[in-house]
Amino acid sequence: MMDIHPRHEHIVKTILRRHVPDAAVYAFGSRVALTAKPHSDLDLVIVGKEEIPIHCMHLLEEAFADSDLPFRVDVLDWHVIPDDFRKHIIKCREAICTGDGSR
């Protein structure tokens, strides 16, 4: 279970569905480990079939920055992060979107 208010989770999922509808997205970090403070950031990693184009990442980051979320959202692309960081994420992650439009 992720440490995020359901209203905020809805905002996050809406933005993700709009910008990366075909990618799986996982939360990791303090909000998944349940060690977050109220204004801790939300760490997300996008797992698409290929690297997300940089302009799409910028639009996604802008959408989160312009949203009503009371915390920052950090977004990473699975295809550009080091293997050791991938292993760290795999240990403690939670699916936010499955990439098939069902979540």
Locate the domains of the chain by residue range: 6-98
Asked if pLDDT for residue 57 goes beyond 70, the answer is yes
Which one from 41, 66, 68, 77 is the annotated catalytic residue? 41
Sign of the C-alpha dihedral computed for residues 73, 79, 85 and 90 taken in this order: positive
> What's the fold here for domain 6-98?
Beta Polymerase; domain 2 (3.30.460)
As a whole number, mean pLDDT of residues 64-70 equals: 96
Give the model's confidence band at 33: pLDDT under 50 very low, under 70 low, under 90 confident, else very high: very high
Q: What is the pTM of this model?
A: 0.92
Which one from 3, 43, 68, 100 is the annotated catalytic residue? 43
The verdict on whether 66 is a catalytic residue reads no
Asked if pLDDT for residue 102 goes beyond 70, the answer is no
Complete edge-to-edge strand list for the sheet that includes strand 73-77: 73-77, 42-47, 24-28, 93-97
- Lowest-confidence pick of 5-14, 70-79, 91-100: 91-100
The verdict on whether 43 is a catalytic residue reads yes
